[in-house]
Amino acid sequence: MDFSLQEIPALVESVLPHLYLLILAVFLGIEVIGRVPQVLHTPLMSGSNALSGVVVIGSILMVGRAEDAPWPVLVLACLSLVLATINVVGGFAVTARMLNMFRKKK
């Protein structure tokens, strides 16, 4: 592998659009929860925990392309898909249970 300084401008140029998106997403992530009351800290954490299970998409893509791959690849990918699905489904269900208790009672 050889690298040369002449490639740097092209490198920066190719990275910049992604950098824009990432930096905006970071600010969005912070701004969007802005002022959250303490009572909602636990449900919010639980909900964002479920959201971090978005890695489930990576698991699906991995299983999906493991057709001609050796079997350990498929096994690992399936295992990760099961775990990620538990994270997502369990996470949203738990959050819903917590929030149901805040429902105003007549």
Partner 1 sequence: METLIQIGYLVALVCFVLGIKGMSHPDTARRGNWTLAFGMGLATLVTLMQPGINNMLWIFISLALGSWWGLRMSSKAQMTEMPQMVSLLNGFGGLAAALVALSEVMDMFYGGAMEKLIIKVMGMGVLGNYYRIFYLVTLMISLAVGGISFTGSVMAMAKLNGKVSGQPVRFPMQGLITNGLLVLMTLLIIAILLTIAIVTSPSYTQVLVFALLLLSLVYGVLFVLPIGGADMPVVISFLNSLTGLTAATTGLLFDNRVMLMGGVLVGASGIYLTMLMCKAMNRTLGAVLLGQFNAGSGEVAREVSGQIKEIGVYDTAVLLAYSSRVVVVPGYGLAVAQAQHLVHELEKILVAKGAECKYAIHPVAGRMPGHMNVLLAEADVSYDLLVEMEAINPEFPQSDVVLVIGANDVVNPAAENDPGSPIHGMPILQVHQARNVVVIKRSMAAGYAGVENELFYDPKTRMLFGDARAVLGDLIQEIKRL
- Restricted to residues 32-61, the positions that interact with partner 1 (CB under 8 A) are 32-61
Q: Are 95 and 46 in contact (CB under 8 A)?
A: yes
Name the minimum Å distance from CB 71 to partner 1. 10
| Range 14-21 contact pairs with CB under 8 angstroms and sequence separation of 24 or more | none
Contact flag: residue 5 with partner 1 (CB under 8 A)? no
Contact flag: residue 20 with partner 1 (CB under 8 A)? no
Name the minimum Å distance from CB 57 to partner 1. 5
Contact flag: residue 100 with partner 1 (CB under 8 A)? yes
Name the minimum Å distance from CB 31 to partner 1. 9
Query: In the Cβ-directed half-sphere of 60, how many Cα atoms lie within 13 Å?
Result: 6
